[in-house]
Chain A
């Protein structure tokens, strides 16, 4: 199971099958004020997002706080109700399914949460926590719940004898493993992980990343990973979407995105990451963005990045750039993209 996560990029027909896709996804959280709680505005957390996730791939969404990446994850798993747009899981529109119709769907998709301390009930034993999905879904696994839970604990690298222990007896990394065991109970096809390792220590992070990779191989899982750590994202992902203020600004294969980022925001984000290599301390070209991310209540018009972009021109304030596929498999929403291959740039000029 030490095989690398990434499969060869050859891409057979089966590999390219879409598991889940979203189109025009919008989530506005209303802001109410006054005596009659009238809506006076909206936090435009996610504002028109399109992407599709292929079977057995790892698709990551990166961005800074407030960019809408966690909201997207919660919309995808239908923990939040979308304002607009459609979510399709295996060809089936799940955008507005009611709770009762959603419940069987939960077997197909599960979520891993960021904080292993608040996502486990402290009054329940590990056995009860990991076995909860069976109870809620009225599933009786072959061999019984206890046996299945113990197998799951073993699969995530925990001692099956810890069945009767409580969460507080475990360290952060072990708790995250308990959470992962729970998501695996119903053998889902899609796992949405919101910052799965960011609350863990460095050495434990690596253990959990390795575990997620092994489980993907073993259970044929598709991952959607929400993260802000660009190093972790590069390592685990097949494809990466970069979000800024509720929109996807760039979407590409991980290696293409990291070796030749095209959106100025992605370029700035990459140049800001500290690299654990003293020899490169002075070699790197840094782009420092000034100021903070604007408020999603009143985002800048047209291209949302124009207020902080060093390449911004008049058109960026007037016309919103579409997320266009400028190079095969590499989509970017910018009027003046970076790292544009010369032949594409030439064609565009003509």
Chain B
């Protein structure tokens, strides 16, 4: 795809000139292994504006976490490090117009914490068990702000209080193992937010939590985003969480974008058969449902042997309608309405007909 065509995707609305805060263009992340080249991310483009939340949805192995680690600069790129083969990255990751992939690791590290920060899925492995929670927050704050220990500690207490930790001035000296799962997750969010990052990446931030705690955490992310006008990337497999929090949604399959649009477009006018499958696979919580779930047959493909053409075609019920194009050529992300893109060979008439006859009545 040409770079202007890619920009049509990331700029979303036709004719938009303004540079989005984060713009990812034709990102590739490949890992050489003994079994072959693992193409975890293979030509992905998207953007996030300031103050907006992008939800990235997909199943295990769709490349959503690999994408977030690439943005944060956390992939080992040199083969010598830690004796594992380096990741091969290609494309562009533009943070406020600056291509992170062409910068040195030291420079990208200086951006972490202040310009971009990440909430990981598993707080127990993301925190150092030897240091108190407070010390870990203070460390990050002092790197980016020239303040003395007293001020930094006061800030850390404030942050812990903001995320709802009871008695923060007392709990700041606790170790991670002394916190419950929900408190640990909140402490990690406090750590990620301690320098008011402009871009916050939350990788499955609530997957390990109970629903009542999940609701607290989602409220927290929403409130803090409003306050700081940050960009948020929310990575999850839970479509309910996406529907609650995201402004825009990117559906990933086998390292590529299947569908990209606003939350309203994705949930109310989904266009890709994979998105239909995801929505049909989730039982409705808010109403009784007697029909069977619309499960997607088969399992996600191996990223070493990605099916040729459309990677979803072996599992797609409608691939046969495209006269072999699904098996032969890879569908590009093309607009079907302003700001709504889909990578699928179905013709607009076929798609509209399938949606109206088979999918919409069952969702």
Contact = CB atoms under 8 A, between A and B. Distances in A.
Contact of B181 (A65, A231, A289): A65
Contacts of B280: 206
Interface string A190-219: 000000000001111111011001000000
Interface stretch (A53-61, A119-127, A266-274): A266-274
Nearest to A271: B215
A235 B240 contact: no
B282 A274 contact: no
Contact of B283 (A204, A232, A277): A232
Contact of B237 (A201, A275, A277): A201
A230 B281 CA distance: 14
Interface string A118-158: 00000000000000000000000000000000000000000
A240 to B, nearest CB: 13
B4 interface: no
Interface in B248-297: 263-264, 267-268, 277-286, 288-297
Interface in A236-259: 236, 255, 258
A276 interface: yes
B237 A206 contact: no
Given A203-B278, A269-B212, A235 B59 contact: no
A203 B281 contact: yes
A292 interface: yes
Contacts of B279: 276
Interface size classification for chain A: 35 or more
Interface in B232-253: 237-244
SS class of chain A's interface: helix, strand, loop or mixed?
Answer: helix
B180 interface: yes
Nearest to A255: B288
B213 interface: yes
A316 B92 CA distance: 60
A31 to B, nearest CB: 17
A64 B242 CA distance: 21
Contact of A201 (B59, B239, B242, B291): B59
B218 interface: yes
Contact of B240 (A274, A289, A292): A274
B335 interface: no
A236 B290 CA distance: 10
A272 B281 contact: no
Contacts of B218: 274
A278 B288 contact: no
Contacts of A172: 60
Contacts of A268: 212
Contacts of B80: none
B219 A288 contact: yes
A38 interface: no
Contacts of B243: 274-278, 281
B281 A202 contact: yes
Interface in B280-331: 280-286, 288-297, 299-300
A91 interface: no
Contacts of A290: 164, 216
B300 A235 contact: no
B277 A235 contact: no
Nearest to B293: A206
A207 B291 CA distance: 14
B166 interface: yes
Contacts of B237: 201-202
29 contacts: A4-B291, A65-B210, A202-B282, A203-B281, A203-B296, A204-B299, A206-B280, A206-B282, A206-B294, A207-B295, A207-B297, A213-B292, A268-B212, A272-B215, A273-B285, A274-B214, A274-B243, A275-B286, A276-B240, A276-B267, A276-B282, A277-B243, A278-B267, A288-B212, A288-B215, A290-B164, A290-B216, A291-B166, A292-B180
Closest 6 CB pairs of A and B: A274-B240, A235-B283, A206-B295, A206-B281, A64-B210, A272-B215
